[in-house]
A and B are shown apart, each in its own frame.
Chain A
Amino acid sequence: MEIFTLVKANIKRRKGAFIAVILLTAIIVSSSLSIFNFLDSKDKALENSFKNIGDPTEMCFVFNNYYTPELEEKVRSLDIVKKLDVYDAFDNWYNNDISNRVGNSNDGNSYFYMKLHDGIRLINSDISGLEDEIPALEKGEVYLPLGCREKLHCKIGDTLETCFYYTKYEFKIKGFVQEPQNGSSQMGWKQAFISDEDFDELARFSAETKTDPKYKNDEAVHNGCEYKIFHVFKADSYKGSDAQFQRDVNLATKLGDLSGGTLTKAQSVNYSALLPDVLLKIVLAFIVVLFVVALVIMGHSISSEIEIDRKKLGILKSQGFTTRKIKLVMEIQYIIAMIIGVILGLVGAFFLSGVIADVFVESVGTPVEIKVSILKAVLVIIALIGVSLLVMTVKTHKVTKISPVKAITGQKDEVYFDSRLKVGLSKRALSLTLAVRQFTSAKRRYISMLIISSLLMFFMVSINLIASLVTSRNALEMMGMEVTQLDMSLNNAGEDLLSLDEAEKIAEDIINKYTTIEKRYAVRGSYCSINGYKIFCRAYKYPEYIGGVIKGRKPRQKNEILITQLVSDEFGWKIGDKVTVAGRKGELECIVSGIYQSMNDAGMVFAIPFDAFETLSPDFKIRYEGFVIKDESKAQQIADEIDKALVNGKGEQKGSCTYWDIDSEGDEMYESEINLLKGIIYSFSGVFMLIAVVLLCTKAFVLERRDIGIYKAIGFTSARLRLSFALRFSFVALLGSLIGFALSALFTQKMMSLLLRAIGICYLDLETKPLDIIIPMAVLIVGFFVFALIASRKIKKVETRELVVE
């Protein structure tokens, strides 16, 4: 009973610390559990969405020119294939202005327009779940996968414009559907669903166009835009992985080699989960750091409580309270705070999970119904309370050292100690030098603050470096991206097209008038297979400019290829290995000449010289080239001039050229998610800074109350003392941020490489800009200063008469 009386009194008296522990626990519990809830629920949602369409193992899209009924039959008859569904589809016509456009948002990726088939579920209008029924489509209506909502910035009722041959088509968006194979906003291809009437009309239109004498010399028209979409279901008896299944089907039927692309269920799930997995795991790492920060704060709070209540604890001891009982009182009050925090955290997690689900809904491609991960929740709570108890036990050990007599008579061990770091006082910067002296005199008191500020700095710098990746030319090149300034695209369809050689001559002549070409990327992307495994292939006309090579060398011979670390790890190929690369029309024995980095297809990609690729798939031509020029200041002018000059002999425009200014535009793809991440980390840092500063200020204030009185007695004003008090915390923040910066220089690269491995980046060369350091440093220093200034308002209340001994 006496224990609870004391606990109650302690809580009443130290409301600040009590609330701080509640708040910290609630933040940690709510954020970690909401992430676990979301990640688990998302996996379940993706699994269910596949079940809705019958759980196909592989999806392939085969250009009609390569499709034969025999191919279909061959696949269907395989023992390892349980079922095969084949759907007709029309791929939108590539057009520079309109590929798939809503308003100003144009998506140049392939959208396969097809009839609505079984299993496709309609997502409700507030994107929170699935409708039981999916209404039939009327003429002129389209159902789009959810990912399009983000890619095209569209909503129900908007008009989608697309192009088939040379004709613009318009569809009204009737709704968004759950399409698990390509539905994620992180994936390029999309399956869009139109009415049977529209589909049949398209088929008629396609047939008419092909026979139209107007297009008799138009190769692109004759190739058409019809596809067969294969959904291949593996037999129940098949025990291999999805990738192995795709390979086995390909080796037996050439389905993969003939198709324009394949996608296994495992790949779909991986791509759909990629963004939340990577970003939320970064947040989880941050939460672990915050937990360490919370433990530091709690430990500090306990030791300051012991110091402040020294006399009271001495009295309790003299009254017969054992050390164990006193420790128990302290532990119980923190456990009560933690339990309240856990309860609030659980409630918070419920809401926060929903917010996370909303943020990532387009990325996942389906609404995620949040289910509480009870096991993980229990484990998190046990770990949280268990580790905290350990810290409490260690920190409350000080109670054993309190001598009742010494405590009651007010004797204390000397608080200050001599320091080698002593800095002399300066009349000119008296407040500042006094602040530094306060720190150097009692360094141990600020260790926790140093740890907190350095950890916060570490994370803030890390997130800035990640954010700067999307605007850093060097970083993007290191990640295998072709960061060009001039992007030249040539028309695919029509008569009298410009060849790449002709366009290159035009571009070179113009560029050479102003500056010189430093790098050039004439690339064609397509799916090929290596040893039967369908892998995205990037064919380079100028392989000497391939970036991101981390081991070995770029291809020098026609039969040399680069693979990514992910491909190497997944399939076991190493530098020097011989592999068979196959396309639609042939195959070639190649040697792996090096390992490089690329984010294409989340790292499942290889690079090959175009002259080798041409022998595998001769029908694929390069219709794009990007240039990096020496003098970027002329880029816009050059781009405009090339754009005007890309005309054929008849003066018809047959291509376009644009200038991409990465410094001002960056890569929009991940910007919103990274900004969200930045927001989370900066705001959590702010809350933790506030709590840490308030608790530490309270302790410093109690310990220095007499000194504050003395300073006032000799003529210091409250304002000056508060300034000095706040400057001290800024000084600690400065030191902490320097330590954090050093930690970041040592570990950020390794940590990020580990986390970004999931998107194909195994090695990062982070480019640190001064602002990436200055901004978090300023946030910490100013934040600590402002919070300390606010917390030090009690200085005003210190009266010099407190020095009087009556």
Chain B
Amino acid sequence: MNKAILTAKGLCKSFAHNGGQLHIISNVDMELFEGDFTVIMGASGSGKSTLLYALSGMDRATSGSVMYEGMDIAALKEKKLAQLRHTDFGFVFQQMHLVSNLTIFENVAVTGYLNKSVSAKETDKRVDELLEKMSISHIKTHLPSQVSGGEQQRCAIARAVVNKPKLIFADEPTGALNRKNTADVLDLLTELNRDGQSILMVTHDVRAAARANRILYLSDGKILGDITLAPYKEQDIKSREAQINAWLTSLEW
């Protein structure tokens, strides 16, 4: 087994609600391993996105710890968290969230420019390479509003990996895409994972989950299931989907 890169212990997230507390995540203990493509599945409202953002430091947990390289993410100050976001973590959102007045190239480059250890020239070169790899170099001078949703999401993935992060957090990255674009984006993530990129993805789509080698099942803020799969092969897609469906059924999905 690969070494754990992220460890959560007793993670809780709750909100004040009608004078009481609404618990979204309850006492979650989990580990993420280097090189894994981990997926969190669960029904709507199960707290999977909340868990993702609590693990990534995008949101503060109510209690518990998230240890990353000896640091408790939940206790980090804003400056250190910001640094983690542009050096160690990459994010891909369901709604892409590209900066609307920056071009496709700039949306990727701006994250690269935050990395002080790489020169601007090297960043620009890497961005060009990534856009090429994502097949969107032809639209690099376009604004997000001028390109398709799939192209936007590929740009968002390029942005997430431009600084060669140790871990990518992806929140329903195919949720807003059509079938063709969904397949393209999943292919990209799979390819990145094959190159050694650790990924934690939230989805409720079994086809997307089938790309992972580990699936966590979340219900009512608790991890109820944890399954490890063989590495993804395109020809096995049907059998993997069937395996996942069976597993989910056993968990009363």
Residue positions of A touching B, CB distance < 8 A:
414-416, 418, 424-428, 430, 434, 437-438, 441-442, 706-707, 709-719, 799-801, 803-806
Residue positions of B touching A, CB distance < 8 A:
44-45, 49-50, 53, 58-59, 78-79, 82-87, 91, 93-95, 97-102, 106, 109-111, 113-114, 119-120, 123, 143, 145, 159, 171-172, 175
Q: A425-B102, A430-B114, A718-B78 are in contact. List 20 more A-B contacts (CB 8 A).
A: A415-B100, A424-B106, A425-B109, A425-B110, A426-B113, A427-B113, A442-B101, A710-B97, A710-B99, A713-B58, A714-B86, A715-B86, A715-B87, A717-B79, A801-B59, A804-B53, A804-B59, A804-B171, A805-B95, A806-B50
How far is it, in angstroms, between the C-alpha of A805 and the C-alpha of B93 when the chains are bound?
A: 9
How far is it, in angstroms, between the C-alpha of A549 and the C-alpha of B128 when the chains are bound?
A: 69
Give the distance to chain B from A569, nearest Cβ to Cβ, in Å.
Answer: 58
Closest to A711 in B: B99
Q: Which residues of A contact B159 (CB under 8 A)?
A: 714
Give the distance to chain A from B50, nearest Cβ to Cβ, in Å.
Answer: 7
Q: Which residues of A contact B87 (CB under 8 A)?
A: 715
**CB-CB under 8 A for A425 and B101, given A418-B143, A717-B82, A800-B58:** no
Q: Is the CB of B59 within 8 A of A717?
A: no
7 closest cross-chain pairs (CB), A and B: A715-B86, A441-B101, A427-B120, A715-B85, A427-B113, A416-B101, A801-B59
Q: Which residues of B contact A438 (CB under 8 A)?
A: 101
Q: Which residues of B contact A804 (CB under 8 A)?
A: 49-50, 53, 58-59, 93, 171
Q: Which residues of B contact A437 (CB under 8 A)?
A: 101-102
Q: Is the CB of B102 within 8 A of A706?
A: no
Among B83, B95, B98, B113, the most chain A Cβ lie within 10 Å of the Cβ of: B113
Q: Which residues of A contact B97 (CB under 8 A)?
A: 706, 709-710, 713, 803
Q: Which residues of B contact A442 (CB under 8 A)?
A: 101
Q: Is the CB of B110 within 8 A of A714?
A: yes
Give the distance to chain A from B18, nearest Cβ to Cβ, in Å.
Answer: 18
Give the distance to chain A from B71, nearest Cβ to Cβ, in Å.
Answer: 16
Closest to A425 in B: B106
How far is it, in angstroms, between the C-alpha of A714 and the C-alpha of B97 when the chains are bound?
A: 11
How far is it, in angstroms, between the C-alpha of A310 and the C-alpha of B178 when the chains are bound?
A: 29
How far is it, in angstroms, between the C-alpha of A800 and the C-alpha of B52 when the chains are bound?
A: 12
Q: Which residues of A contact B53 (CB under 8 A)?
A: 800-801, 804
Q: Is the CB of B143 within 8 A of A801?
A: no
Residue from A418, A425, A712, A713 in contact with B113 in the complex, judged by beta carbons closer than 8 Å: A425
Residue from A426, A715, A801 in contact with B82 in the complex, judged by beta carbons closer than 8 Å: A715
- 16 CB < 8 A contacts A-B: A415-B100, A416-B101, A418-B143, A427-B120, A430-B113, A706-B97, A713-B93, A714-B110, A714-B114, A715-B82, A717-B82, A800-B59, A801-B58, A804-B49, A804-B53, A806-B45
Q: Is the CB of A715 within 8 A of B114?
A: yes
Q: Which residues of A contact B50 (CB under 8 A)?
A: 804, 806
Q: Which residues of A contact B123 (CB under 8 A)?
A: 427
**CB-CB under 8 A for A716 and B114, given A800-B58, A803-B95:** yes
How far is it, in angstroms, between the C-alpha of A717 and the C-alpha of B78 when the chains are bound?
A: 7
Q: Is the CB of B49 within 8 A of A806?
A: yes
Among B84, B94, B114, the most chain A Cβ lie within 10 Å of the Cβ of: B114
**CB-CB under 8 A for A707 and B99, given A800-B53, A801-B59:** yes
How far is it, in angstroms, between the C-alpha of A719 and the C-alpha of B7 when the chains are bound?
A: 29
Q: Which residues of A contact B99 (CB under 8 A)?
A: 707, 710-711
Residue from B83, B86, B119, B172 in contact with A805 in the complex, judged by beta carbons closer than 8 Å: B172
Q: Which residues of A contact B94 (CB under 8 A)?
A: 805
Closest to A805 in B: B94
Q: Is the CB of B110 within 8 A of A426?
A: no
Q: Is the CB of A714 within 8 A of B85?
A: yes
Q: Is the CB of B109 within 8 A of A713?
A: no
Closest to A796 in B: B78
Give the distance to chain B from A805, nearest Cβ to Cβ, in Å.
Answer: 5
Give the distance to chain A from B13, nearest Cβ to Cβ, in Å.
Answer: 10
Give the distance to chain A from B59, nearest Cβ to Cβ, in Å.
Answer: 4
Q: Which residues of B contact A717 (CB under 8 A)?
A: 78-79, 82
How far is it, in angstroms, between the C-alpha of A428 and the C-alpha of B116 when the chains are bound?
A: 10
Give the distance to chain A from B83, nearest Cβ to Cβ, in Å.
Answer: 7
How far is it, in angstroms, between the C-alpha of A430 and the C-alpha of B50 when the chains are bound?
A: 31
How far is it, in angstroms, between the C-alpha of A801 and the C-alpha of B98 when the chains are bound?
A: 15
Q: Which residues of B contact A415 (CB under 8 A)?
A: 100
Closest to A440 in B: B101
Closest to B86 in A: A715
How far is it, in angstroms, between the C-alpha of A482 and the C-alpha of B28 when the chains are bound?
A: 89
Closest to A706 in B: B97
Q: Which residues of B contact A714 (CB under 8 A)?
A: 85-86, 91, 110-111, 114, 159
Q: Which residues of B contact A803 (CB under 8 A)?
A: 93, 95, 97
Q: Which residues of B contact A710 (CB under 8 A)?
A: 97-99
Q: Which residues of A contact B143 (CB under 8 A)?
A: 416, 418
